[in-house]
Amino acid sequence: MKIKLTHLPFYNAAISLIFTLILVVIVFELTLKEQLVSQQLESETAHVRSQIYQMENFINNDQTTELRNLIANLTALPIYQDILVIREDWQVLGSSQVRHENLHLVDVTPELVAYVTQVVDQGFTSKEIVDGNHLLYRIPDPADFNKNKAFISVTLDLSKISDNAKLVLTNDLIVFSFATVFMALVLYLSTIKVLKKRLRRIEESLIDFTQGNRVQRLSQRHTSDFKNLEKTINKMLDELDSEQRSLVEEKDFSNILLNSISDGLVTTDETGKIIVVNRSAVAIFGYDYEEELLNQDIVKLVPSEYRSAHQKKFFSGHSHNTSGILNKLREVEGIKKDGTRVPVSITIVQNTRKGKVFFTAFINDLTESNNYRRSMEKIAFSDGLTELLNINGLKRKLSQQPLSGYLALIELNDLKVINEGYGYEFGDKLVTQFAQSLKEMQHEKCTIAAATGGRFLIHTQLPPSDFTSKLNSFRHKVTYIFDLPFKLDLKCSYIRLNNESSFDVQLRFCRIALRNEASASPDQFVEVDVDWINRRAYQSRLQQRLSNAISNEQLFFHFQPKFSSFSKKIVAAEALIRWKANDEFIPPAKFIPIAENSHLMPHIDQYVISLACRSIRHWLDQGLDVVPIAINLSSKYLFLDTTINYIFEKVGEYSVPPELLEIEVTEYGLINDFEKTAENMQRLQNSGLKLAIDDYGTGHSNLETVAALPIQNLKIDQAFIKRALGSDKSKAILENIVDLAHALKIELTAEGVETQEQFDYMRSLHCHYIQGYLLSKPLEESDFLEKLREQNALVSTG
Amino acid sequence: MSKLVYVFTFVAFVTWMPLGCGSAPPEKLQIGTNIWPGYEPIYVARDKGYFDSIHIELNELRSATQVIQAFTGGDINVAAVTLDEAIRLAYLQQDISIVWIFNFSNGADALVTRPEITELSELAHKNIGAEQTALGQYFLSRILEEAGLERKELKVKNMDISQHEESMLKGTVDAVITFDPVLRSLSKQGFKVLFDSSDLPNEIIDVLVVKNHVLETNKTQLKQFIQGLDRIRKDIQNNFETHSAFLNRRLKLNSNEVAEVFADLVIPSPQQQLAVFSKREELQHLFERYARILNIEDLASCRCEQLVNTELLEQLSED
């Protein structure tokens, strides 16, 4: 490797630099020329001027000889082209040409006469005028020169100055350029010398390094211009060195890795010859040394029935038909050294190195994991106690085909009692023995599975009559456990399996049926009623929605006015709770029972109390002539202080005048704690609230009981009225009650009055208030208020 | 590397070229003379346009001193001088050659005295004005020789030619060693010529000297200049009358004096000049006499072989 410096980039740079320098000098000199010319002109003019003063002096002192000598001397100087001293009478006193002296100027240069005349005529008073190369000087007041004035005319050859400047500049330029070129050459050659020396050193070191002297580095000189280059090269050499070292380490490491991984690893070339094998692979295939497998054909490890396919896929000529095999975890069998087979999982990857194809197989011995899997399966899919299938096991079995036949859920009665009374070992024993009994059924198209808590599942294709009779045969059988006799009993629910619902859902149906119905059934055997379960589910969902509706205040009132039986005026109204969910109107008959069967009723009561108080307050604030509003509360909760306190709290919160809120007690027949309820009702009454008994005549309570409660109003149910109009006996009872109420000063309200007959009848009985479709159906709030306003308007105008 | 050498050669050539070209143009002939009848033909030739085809500059100086100063100062490179001045210039390291003889003084240089002085010997203890030129001194030494006087017996006053007439008229000196036109002017006013150059034949010579490098670089123009001189010489010899007024333009003599003045001069032809130059021994002897007057000890500078260049004269005589 010979470094050729003309190829180095700085060569061109140096040449460019030299030319640039020369160019710069030329430009500089050219600009300098102008300056030089003007400077020289300046100094020459100054010189001329001083000479003119000298001449002026000689003229004034009448020193003609000296004047002429001076002119002669000056004429020899290059810049003076012509000098003329002219007296006022136009006689030439002195001239650069001797022959002109004492002549009349007209005979010398007539043009000058004309020029001087012209200048004088123009009032030439200044001492000099310069006109091109011509300088005319006037001696304004000659002291002693025949009292005449004189002119000095000097013609200068300015081209001499320019030539002179040019010459100076040219010489400058030459010297400068030569010096520049010379310096550049010297600099260039010396740089090359230094550069070559340093580069040769670097070159030698690099050659040394490439020949194997790995510790070879360039000596770094801090003063050297190459220190950065040397540093970089050294860094590069360090990196090369460390790369080399890490390659060796990597190889060692991969060997260690190869032999330390538990996976077996076998690499073959494209002919199927094993070229790499690790210890794990050797162990998996039952060999002792890697050498036993190295350079062997891989087919040695492949079972005979797969060999031809294997060869075809991997090693048939140049085309490797390996699609669908590479990079996939597969479970196959391999042949061990002793000829036995070993289950393995295998992943084959293909890679190409230096144009050659290699296959590497990662192999895992599955013998252990297969065993483990089997034991896991046992745990997962069978019942440890009875060794029957568990639910998952059954599910797995049934998942193979569409669901059909029957699924029966069986529960041992009294197992809980036995467990608690005798201990779990007794219970377990009982379960085990029953399981043994059940196993008798297995051969009759039945699959038996054990569930937790003494429950069993039977899947069968037999009709229910068959398997129920079989099950019945187990019942009431005495069985001995640890020599103690136990009478075995069971209950069962079963379902005809279909494919509309999942197995889990249908099993759940069985569980629900077993829990809710089987116990109620006389023989404790029940077939699942899917409709009933669906209804239950609907109610559960509805209950959930109702709970949300209460929280979100989606319940509202319709108001059914109560009219005076005499004036037919609205005197009060009953607030009836309504629920509209997503445009679906859900009647109270549907949701109130749900509320009552759950924990929601007290919440509805509170909601009703709060909403009624808020509405009354709202109307009052609007200036309405508000009539008493009745709300329905279940007597079931009236004995609770919390309910009463809540009423007081809301009445207080909304400042509701107590006479405007009436509480109608429903389900008075269900009053448990009569005294407490009565006490609470008394508290309400004491505070000014009105209390009424709703739906009187539907329950079984007698009037005495009811009348014992502190009430002001009794609402007689529609059915009662209808009955009274239908039979004399009923009429007598009703009229009796009416009389009693009158006697007790309890006001009466007829509910559900739909016909004029009913109205007339109740009115005849002096029933105070009439409520019903005849006079008004329950109204939406706006309609109700509208009606109230109309009535008030009539009153005020009437 | 070879490419590099080419580049530098080129650069050197380009940068040195102006210098080479600068030395090439011939140096302009800058000719200086004082006012002397022997030199006037130059101006007549100029006025007649004989030098129009060549590029010359004529500097009309007033005295020999001015000419020497201009020559040594470099303002002129060709000068019309007396032989002694030529020798002095040669001695002053001026690398020069004598190429032309204008004239031999045949009475044009003279000692003019007040009328009452009739003999040279009467000059003793008198004031004598003379130019501080070699010619003045040479003339003086020759006068002393003729008069048999010692130098110290005279009171020699240095004065420029321009002062000669005035000094004589004012009486500040008793005699002056002068030359035309002052000579003519003084003699007209009654002063007496006691000794003149006709007494020293071929000793008082006016020559044209030229700096050697001009001779080398501008031989062509110099030759043309000398051809012009020869041409006007012939013109004047052939018809003096028609040229008399021209010759007097600078001298400003009365017209009848012009002929007299020129009668005091011998204007040699080129052949005559070559004849003078060929008498090397005599010439060398003359040179050395001047040199002695000039106190020049190193006579090597005034060797004929070096000082006289007859090449142009030879060419002229051949044409």
Q: What is the mean pLDDT of residues A170-187?
A: 81
Q: What is the pLDDT of residue A75?
A: 82
Residues of chain A found within 8 Å of residue B30, distances taken between Cβ atoms: 76
Q: Which residue from A703, A594, A717 is spatially nearest to A666, judged by alpha carbons?
A: A717
Per-residue pLDDT band at A557 (split at 50, 70, 90): very high
Q: What is the pLDDT of residue A223?
A: 65
Locate tokens 């448990």: which residue? A672
Q: What is the mean pLDDT of residues B24-46?
A: 86
Cβ pairs bridging A and B (under 8 Å)? 77
Q: Highest-confidence range of A52-66, A221-235, A498-512, by mean pLDDT?
A: A498-512
Q: What is the pLDDT of residue A124?
A: 62
What residues of chain B have any CB closer than 8 angstroms to a CB in chain A? 1, 3-4, 7-8, 11-12, 15-16, 18-19, 22, 30, 32, 35, 43, 59-63, 66, 69-70, 73, 75-76, 162-163, 249-250, 252
Tell which wins on pLDDT, B303 or A458. A458
pLDDT above 60 for B21: no
Q: For the segment A185-215, what is each residue's pLDDT rounded down to a tens digit? A: 888 888 888 888 888 888 888 888 888 777 7
Per-residue pLDDT band at A1 (split at 50, 70, 90): very low
Count of other CB atoms within 10 angstroms of residue A60? 15
Q: What is the pLDDT of residue A143?
A: 41
User: With an 8 Å Cβ cutoff, are B3 and A6 in contact?
Assistant: yes
Can the peptide bond before residue A778 be classed as cis, meaning omega within 30 degrees of 0? no
Q: For the segment B164-214, what is each residue's pLDDT rounded down to a tens digit? A: 888 999 889 999 999 877 888 898 888 989 898 888 888 889 999 999 999
User: With an 8 Å Cβ cutoff, are B43 and A99 in contact?
Assistant: yes
Q: For the segment B285-309, what is each residue's pLDDT rounded down to a tens digit? A: 888 888 888 877 777 777 777 889 9
Q: What is the pLDDT of residue A649?
A: 92
- Lowest-pLDDT range of A137-151, A152-166, A355-369, B225-239: A137-151
- Tell me the ipTM for this assembly: 0.74
pLDDT above 70 for A136: no
Q: What is the pLDDT of residue B229?
A: 94
**What count of Cα atoms within 13 Å lies in the side-chain half-sphere of residue B187?**
23
User: With an 8 Å Cβ cutoff, are A181 and B35 in contact?
Assistant: no
Q: Which residue from A681, A744, A679, A747 is spatially nearest to A713, judged by alpha carbons?
A: A747
How much is the mean pLDDT over chain A? 83
User: With an 8 Å Cβ cutoff, are B61 and A65 in contact?
Assistant: no
Q: What is the pLDDT of residue A318?
A: 54
Pair A173, A25: CB distance under 8 Å:
yes
**What count of Cα atoms within 13 Å lies in the side-chain half-sphere of residue A92?**
26
Q: What is the dihedral of CA A766, A770, A773, A779, to 10 degrees?
A: 170
DSSP string, A307-351: HHHHHHHHHSTT----TTTBT--EEEEEE-TTS-EEEEEEEEEEE
Q: What is the mean pLDDT of residues A282-310?
A: 88
Q: What is the mean pLDDT of residues A230-235?
A: 85
Gap from A202 CA to chain B (nearest CA, Å): 22
Do β-strands B56-60 and B78-82 pair in parallel, antiparallel, or remain unpaired?
unpaired
Q: What is the mean pLDDT of residues A695-716?
A: 77
pLDDT above 80 for A503: yes
Q: What is the pLDDT of residue A558?
A: 93
Q: For the segment A428-455, what is each residue's pLDDT rounded down to a tens digit? A: 888 888 888 888 887 767 888 988 888 8
- Lowest-pLDDT range of A136-145, A174-183, A710-719: A136-145
Percent of chain A exceeding pLDDT 70 equals: 91
Q: What is the pLDDT of residue B20?
A: 44
Residues of chain A found within 8 Å of residue B59, distances taken between Cβ atoms: 72, 75-76
Tell which wins on pLDDT, B198 or A702. B198
Q: What is the pLDDT of residue A150?
A: 77
